[in-house]
Amino acid sequence: MTSIDELILRSTNPFDNYRSVNFWDQQQATEPTVNSIHKDAIAKIETTLDQVALDHRTRTVRLEGDPGSGKTFLLGRLKRQLNPKAFFAYIPPFPQSDEIWRHILRYTVNSLVEVPHRQQDSQLLRWLKSLSVFKRRGFGKGLRQGTAWDWLRADKQRFITNLKETYQKAPLYNANSFFSLLHDLTNPKLYPLACEWLKGDDLSEEALEKLGLKHSIESEEAAYEILANFGRISMATQPIVLCFDQLESIACLPDGSLNLPALFNANTRIHDENHNFLIIISIIINTWKQNEHRLDQSHKDRIDTHLTLRPINIEQAQSIWATRLFPLHSQAQYQPNSIIYPLKRQYLEAELPSGKTNPRNALLIGRDIFQQFKEWLAQETKEKFQPTYRPQQPKSQPSDLLANFKLNWVEELNKIQEKFTDIRQLSSPELIRVLQDALIALQGSEITTPLLTKTKYASYSLSYQLPNHPGKRGVIWTEDSNMNSFFNVMRACQKEIHNHSDTVLQLIRSLGVGKPSNAGHKLYQTIFTGSPHCHLIPSLNSFQYLVTYHNLVKDAREGDLLIGSETLGLKGLQALVRESQVLEDCQLLQDLGIFVRQQPQEDTKELNRPQQRKTSKASQNGLLSVKDYLFNLVKTQGLMGRQILVENICSQFTQVPESQVEELLEQLCQEKQISILNPKEQREAQLVFLGVK
């Protein structure tokens, strides 16, 4: 085994990852938790949840905290700790206020189809199996124990009849259709379609026929009623917890302020009309103070519990350090005397004269001092290590900030590409929102939403202008598979052209446009065949690029985007995106005329596709991205073990063989951008550093 100092020299900085994401992303491998942090808040929420489970009365918790206080991470802890007691749903920011119920329903179902850690069934199937219809006294009399579920599942009509008898007093919306959908959830072949219907997707006629239904969820009121149905029949089941987070990115009012009234209006309706829900609204303290006066008192009265996340103390900050350093310590030949070595408590005391901080700042302090200690070790000086504390530290050099951002971008893109495998995972209003964010960052002019005004499909559209091009360009992005809806979108496009002849329309759609005999297809041919209007088919890769940037935007608005040791706001993020040119590989943005069209290049993730021809010119271009990532990793870490460096690259670019990474490393050495500190040592002991030896 190796000494702790040798491990420190070789390692990446264990404090580099600060980001808390959608809590379903953390269910397989979560970082160690310091249980003493915010334990009072968790205890109060658990008590409230127990009360909901006991009397089934819906309750609301407002969870406040400053940026970096750990609000999103706390929601993840709640899910992990309390999932055996409840069903959890994570609701991201809604892009359109007039479609808030569709949004809440969509993400409630999206969360319910998740399979909790160490469970076999999704939350949705667990919820279904826990309904009181399967617990009635005398139900399934004469059947062997445990067969009631199978007995009902085998006969759809019997399933529906039993549920109708059990819940005849509940004011259910479209009971026959709803119970029919619940039965379809028990059929593995129909389960995906049933989930799509429940979350509000506009299904094709063929899909609806398979489900035995005439239409999809067609209105906001219908979306609310389906959501309410979950509460109306679940009195004997565990509560459903709705977690609203990242409110800085919700839809805005005409004056530019956040539309918190729409959210709290929705909360009031759920609170007053539905049973068995616990609603947690996570919000920044200043955001609440700035917007509280906009809310009716009746909405404020529906907040049953108000919790504020308090600062942590030095002991808790030390515990955070210990959790980050433990993996490094566990590899050492001899354990250091302190569980936070090479850090010390006195460093925290010097940085924090008040003795208080927040979890993220504790990580930042640890990151900076660890990096300084690593550089001190490499110098092999006899002088005692003395850190430079944050108030005296100069800001990051622009080149360092850019290098850190490029690393962050690749890592975030990889996560998105694993999670988002279908463009239809986002609704059309969300697709327009992620495109709008990118256009604003790239300084598109006169970006306006919507384009298609006074129509059901207004939220599917936007307009913008290109420099040196007369007239405006309109975008309509629809991935609805129902061809009646497609026809209506085409009619809205036709009306727009009639009213504004100088507008160039661009239809974005990856799905087909119907059979030639369909009315929608005929209208499509009339509008989008030939110049100037066009149909753009977005690639999955382009979609993933836009979602990656949108996720960073949400963090920046919340004050939670850290690049290296810098907290970036939205303007800082936009400037880095332009400087780094990371969005220029997005083919859809090229097609929209935002960038000058170039020869297609393969981005970093294209290397991870098995069908890729590794010897192609595109692959060679892609390797430049790998090489850039390798260089930036050395630049930001200062010094790294060669083996750990190669392992890091291979973990980000899973289809790039280790031998190829070694070749890129040697190229950078030959170009004198990086060097091997101790080339005569065995490869696993070699250290890579920036510059020339």
Q: Are residues 58 and 46 in the same domain?
A: yes
Q: Which of 213, 233, 253 is the last residue of a domain?
A: 233
Q: Are residues 439 and 531 in the same domain?
A: yes
CATH of the domain at 270: 3.40.50.300
Predicted pLDDT of residue 119: 84
User: 367 vs 320, 387, 462, CA distance in Å?
Assistant: 12, 12, 42
Overall average pLDDT of the 345-373 stretch: 95
Six-digit token string for 406: 């490029």
Between CA 198 and CA 170 the distance in angstroms is 19
Flag whether pLDDT at 143 surpasses 90.
no
Q: Are residues 610 and 656 in the same domain?
A: yes
Q: Which of 259, 294, 311 is the last residue of a domain?
A: 311
User: DSSP secondary structure string, 255-283?
Assistant: TSSB-HHHHHHHHHHHHHH-BSEEEEEEE
Out of 92-96, 375-379, 603-607, least confident range: 603-607
Structural contact between residues 48 and 239, judged by C-beta atoms closer than 8 angstroms: no
Domains contained in the chain, number: 6
Q: Residue 687 CA to chain centroid, in angstroms?
A: 35
The model's confidence at residue 392, banded by pLDDT at 50, 70 and 90, is low
Between CA 50 and CA 56 the distance in angstroms is 9
Overall average pLDDT of the 261-284 stretch: 97
pLDDT per residue as tens digits for the range 626-662: 999 999 999 999 999 999 999 999 999 998 999 999 9
Overall average pLDDT of the 230-254 stretch: 92
Question: What 3-state DSSP class applies to 491?
Answer: helix
Q: Output the CA torsion 7→12→14→16 (10° steps).
A: 170
Number of other residues whose CB lies within 10 A of the CB of residue 589 = 20
Q: Are residues 432 and 528 in the same domain?
A: yes
Q: Are residues 144 and 162 in the same domain?
A: yes
Flag whether pLDDT at 612 surpasses 70.
no
Q: Are residues 417 and 545 in the same domain?
A: yes
Predicted pLDDT of residue 120: 87
Six-digit token string for 510: 């990856």
Mean model confidence pLDDT for the chain: 90
The model's confidence at residue 31, banded by pLDDT at 50, 70 and 90, is low
Flag whether pLDDT at 27 surpasses 50.
no
Q: Look at residue 626 and tell me if it is in a domain.
A: yes
Overall average pLDDT of the 106-119 stretch: 91
Overall average pLDDT of the 497-523 stretch: 95
Q: Look at residue 109 and tell me if it is in a domain.
A: no
Q: Are residues 416 and 466 in the same domain?
A: no
Predicted pLDDT of residue 613: 43
Q: Are residues 430 and 492 in the same domain?
A: yes
Higher pLDDT, 149 or 340: 340
Overall average pLDDT of the 24-46 stretch: 78
Higher pLDDT, 383 or 469: 383
| CA neighbor of 552 nearest in space, from 572, 535, 537, 573 | 573
Number of other residues whose CB lies within 10 A of the CB of residue 471 = 14
Q: Look at residue 596 and tell me if it is in a domain.
A: no
CATH of the domain at 677: 1.10.10.10
Six-digit token string for 259: 């539309």
User: 171 vs 166, 214, 224, 273, 391, CA distance in Å?
Assistant: 12, 22, 13, 11, 61
The model's confidence at residue 432, banded by pLDDT at 50, 70 and 90, is very high
Predicted pLDDT of residue 393: 62
Between CA 624 and CA 632 the distance in angstroms is 12
Q: Look at residue 20 and tell me if it is in a domain.
A: no
pLDDT per residue as tens digits for the range 212-223: 999 999 999 999
Q: Look at residue 519 and tell me if it is in a domain.
A: yes
DSSP-derived letter for residue 524 is: H
Residue listed under structure tokens 């809604």: 94
The model's confidence at residue 237, banded by pLDDT at 50, 70 and 90, is confident
Q: Look at residue 118 and tell me if it is in a domain.
A: no
Predicted pLDDT of residue 23: 65
Overall average pLDDT of the 46-52 stretch: 97
Q: Are residues 188 and 265 in the same domain?
A: no
* DSSP H/E element including 185: none
Flag whether pLDDT at 177 surpasses 70.
yes
Flag whether pLDDT at 611 surpasses 70.
no
pLDDT over 70 percentage in the chain: 90
Predicted pLDDT of residue 619: 65
The model's confidence at residue 32, banded by pLDDT at 50, 70 and 90, is low
Q: Look at residue 14 and tell me if it is in a domain.
A: no
DSSP-derived letter for residue 485 is: H
Q: Look at residue 123 and tell me if it is in a domain.
A: no
* pTM of structure: 0.92
Tell me which residue range forms the domain holding 277: 37-100+236-311
